Amino acid sequence: MLLFVEQILNGLQYGAMLFMLASGLTLIFGIMGVINLTHGCFYMVGAYCAAFAVMSTGSFLVGILAALAGAGLYAVMVEVAVVQWLYRRDHLYQVLATLGLILFTNEAVSMIFGRRPPLLDIPPLLQGSVAILPGLDYPVMRLAFIGVGALVAVGLWLLVNHTRIGMLIRAGADDREMVDALGVDIRRLYTLVFGLGGLLCGLAGVMAAPLLAIEIGMGERVLITTFVVIVIGGVGSVRGALVGALLVGMVDSLGRAYLPQVLQGLLPASVADTLSAGLVSASIYVLMAAVLLVRPLGLLPARA
């Protein structure tokens, strides 16, 4: 029972991270129709900026600000310099250009920050673990991660549903010509959304950095999972991203926890270990296939 609760928390924490990455990606994809493979790079840039800010100032707070600023500004730069010229082009051009940007960013980051990966410690306030149930200690840092994820979800809900910018974002998703005709500078709005996506990646980066490893190419690793999340959730909707992220987080953590045990009960140990390791890796793709069979547009698409 305790194991189950702990795995649910692990799933929530992974889901929170996926949500921060997927919400920005789904806005960019759903509203502007841009396939942006550079999205994972914003996460890496955020983590690197945080690590070096913390190393030079010693303050985690400065690290958070550096991550947000670094990733957000880099996203705006990418949009202004490259992506905005591709809105009317075919998706193939966008894939090629943003793939090139991945290579460029990886090389640039290793030139600026060096080939040796930096290390970021968990800030003293969030170190160690705390008893949430009798007999169940859970790391404070991971609880904080879940909390930040919840805050982001509430914040985005408020932004999209209860502000003028949110209204324009929703309107832009439906009909960009109409919004343009109403006298709204859609170009600026797009830049803003792109920056917001980068900002959320930076937040995920600074939260993940002390828990996971900071390295060149860390963005590409999560990028595919992030795309799986928005495909499951439905392209373009923040609610879909939230549901998709939580689903993927849970399937991943519960699958990794229970699948090997179930299979070990059914099959000889040597077969069960290899088979379960393979199945666990494939579980989220199986989930995606199952969802698409029933709902080809994802669970909560923006334009149902």
Partner 1 sequence: MTTTASSRRAVVAGLLTTGSLAASRAWSNPIQPETVTIGFITTLSTPAGYIGEDERDAFNLAIAEGGGKLGGVPVRLDIEDDALKPANAKQAADRMVQGGIRLFTGVNFSNVLAAVVPSVLASGGTYVSLNPGPSTFAGERCHPNYFVTSYQNDAFHEASGLAADELAYKKVVLLAPNYQAGRDALEGFKRTYKGTVAGEIYTKLDQTDFSVELARVRALAPDAIYQFHPGGAGINFAKQYANAGLGRTVPMLIPSFSMDARMVAATGDAANGIYASAIWTSEVDNPASVAFVTAFRKAYSRTPTTYAQQSYDTARLIGSALEAVNGDLRKQDQFRNALRAAKFVSVRGKFAFGPNQHPVQDYYLTRFEKNGAGEIVQNIVRKIASDRGDAYVSKCTMN
Q: Provide the binding-site residues for partner 1, judged by CB under 8 A.
A: 2-3, 6-7, 10, 13-14, 115-117, 119, 121-122, 127-129, 137-139, 141-142, 211-213, 215, 221, 252-253, 256-257, 260, 269, 273-274, 276-277, 280-281
* Minimum CB–partner distance for residue 97 and partner 1 (Å): 26
**Beta pairing partners, 139:** 129
* Minimum CB–partner distance for residue 14 and partner 1 (Å): 7
* Minimum CB–partner distance for residue 250 and partner 1 (Å): 11
- Contact criterion met (CB below 8 Å) for 51 and 206: no
Closer of 163 and 274 to partner 1 (Cβ) = 274
Question: Taking Cα atoms as reference points, which of 74, 15, 54, 47 lies closest to residue 206?
Answer: 47
Beta strands, E only, 92-192:
129-133, 136-139
- Contact criterion met (CB below 8 Å) for 298 and 291: yes
Tokens 């994972």, located at residue: 40
* Minimum CB–partner distance for residue 264 and partner 1 (Å): 9
Using CA atoms, how far apart are residues 236 and 160, in angstroms rounded to an integer? Answer: 12
Closer of 94 and 253 to partner 1 (Cβ) = 253
Question: Rg of the Cα trace of the chain?
Answer: 20
Please give the DSSP secondary-structure letter assigned to residue 236: T
3-class secondary-structure state, position 26: helix
Closer of 124 and 183 to partner 1 (Cβ) = 124
Greatest distance between any 2 Cα atoms in the chain: 68
Given the DSSP bridges, would you call strands 136-139 and 129-133 parallel, antiparallel or unpaired? antiparallel
* Minimum CB–partner distance for residue 257 and partner 1 (Å): 5
Which helix (H) or strand (E) segment is 6 a member of? helix 2-32
Closer of 170 and 221 to partner 1 (Cβ) = 221
Closer of 137 and 185 to partner 1 (Cβ) = 137
| DSSP assignments along 275-297, one per residue | HHHHHHHHHHHHHHHHHHHH-TT
CB within 8 A of 201, min separation 6: which ones? Answer: 20, 21, 24, 39, 40, 42, 43, 45, 46, 71, 75
* Minimum CB–partner distance for residue 82 and partner 1 (Å): 27
* Minimum CB–partner distance for residue 137 and partner 1 (Å): 5
Closer of 59 and 281 to partner 1 (Cβ) = 281
* Minimum CB–partner distance for residue 300 and partner 1 (Å): 27
Closer of 159 and 277 to partner 1 (Cβ) = 277
Instruction: Label each residue of 76-132 as H, E or C.
Output: HHHHHHCHHHHCCCCHHHHHHHHHHHHHHHHHHHHHHHCCCCCCCCCCHHHCCEEEE
Closer of 78 and 203 to partner 1 (Cβ) = 203
